[in-house]
Amino acid sequence: MTWHSIDAVDTAFKRTKSVLIEPFNFWKWIKLGIIILLIGGSGGGGGGSNFGGTGQNFNGIGDNGNLITDSQFLEYREMFTQFLDTYLTYLLLGIGFFIGIILLLSYISNVMEFVFVHSLVTNVVTFRAYTRQYLRQGFNLFMIRLVLGLAFISILLISMLPLVLPILDSQGDFDVGMFIGGMFLFAGVLVILAIISVIIESFINLSIPMSMYQNTGIIAAFKKVLGLFRADCGQIIVYWVVRFFLGIIVWIIVWLAAVILFIVVFGIISMLGLVLYLLLSWAGLDIGDAVFWVVMIPFGLVAFVIISILILLVSVPVPVFMKYHMLTFLKSWYPESGIPLFELAVEE
């Protein structure tokens, strides 16, 4: 039996090399880096640490080591109520602005998903044209992910009730057992939702190119991928395993190379900065002179731009390789997907 995800590794590597290195095109790397940045290739996930710190402080004990009394509890609640009465409008405006920015960035990210796929499929990176072409499909994908996100958040909020209720209902006697039980429930729900989210996102990523090149909606493409999974779940399971280990290996290799390159570039910039500083000092200029900063600030800005471009370039190879692996796997697993991947010269 042929495992398409394993066979796709070699072809994905060849396509990545053909797009990024043969020949090397600086501006193609920059445009792909910007697209990846807008997608959110760095990912996220530092929220878990916030939950760990709250339980440590709220244990029903006051500053003097005694349990919080009813009067103290009412006093704290009154202070919180006064704070809301005074700053509620500003809080709502700030929250609304923050949510609006998040939604806008999320919409742009979903549009860029289509732009990224089409850029790799055609080996032609055209930012503006592809963005206009996929505004509607990106909006549909954005709405689907928004609904899923709201559903997940709702489930999380419901699972947090056993954590919140002991705090709200406590009148000096804090139910520690119920609170700890609620923490375990919330952690379990969080893990389950994380697994479900990863699976759904995998299906969505497979549905994006199928939607693009079969001229169907993202939901119809998702149903098609789900049907293929039911008919041949083994291929997808092996695909998930291969991508898990492949991602780890590729990230380690690329980031080791990136660290070495960064150390070399940073070392050169630091040496140039030191030489410039010594020259200015030899000329009798120090940090108290305006001329000193007229020279050093532009140098610092140039160094910042160089390092930023380096980071942008380093962020390109892994997402490109992993996306080519997904596209190659999908085309091999489901030839009717209609993905018009560019031809490799080595295949002729």
Tell me: the pLDDT tens digits for 252-298? 988 888 888 888 888 898 898 888 888 888 887 777 778 778 888 88
At residue 22, the pLDDT reads: 82
**Number of Cβ within a 10 Å radius of residue 294:** 10
- Alpha-carbon span 198 to 343, nearest angstrom: 31
At residue 147, the pLDDT reads: 94
Contact criterion met (CB below 8 Å) for 239 and 217: no
> What does DSSP assign to residue 344?
P
User: What type of residue is 260?
Assistant: I
Contact criterion met (CB below 8 Å) for 186 and 162: yes
Residue 80 pLDDT exceeds 80:
no
- Under the banding of pLDDT at 50, 70 and 90, the label for residue 226 is very high
Residue ranges per structural domain of the chain: 4-43+60-347
Residue 10 pLDDT exceeds 50:
yes
The pTM assigned to this predicted structure is: 0.76
Residue 67, phi then psi, degrees to nearest 5: -65, 145
pLDDT per residue over 42-72, tens digit each? 433 333 333 333 333 334 444 444 445 556 5
Residue 326 pLDDT exceeds 60:
yes
> What does DSSP assign to residue 65?
S
Average pLDDT for 6-10: 91
Q: How far apart are the first and last CA of the chain?
A: 26
At residue 77, the pLDDT reads: 64
Residue 7 pLDDT exceeds 80:
yes
At residue 56, the pLDDT reads: 38
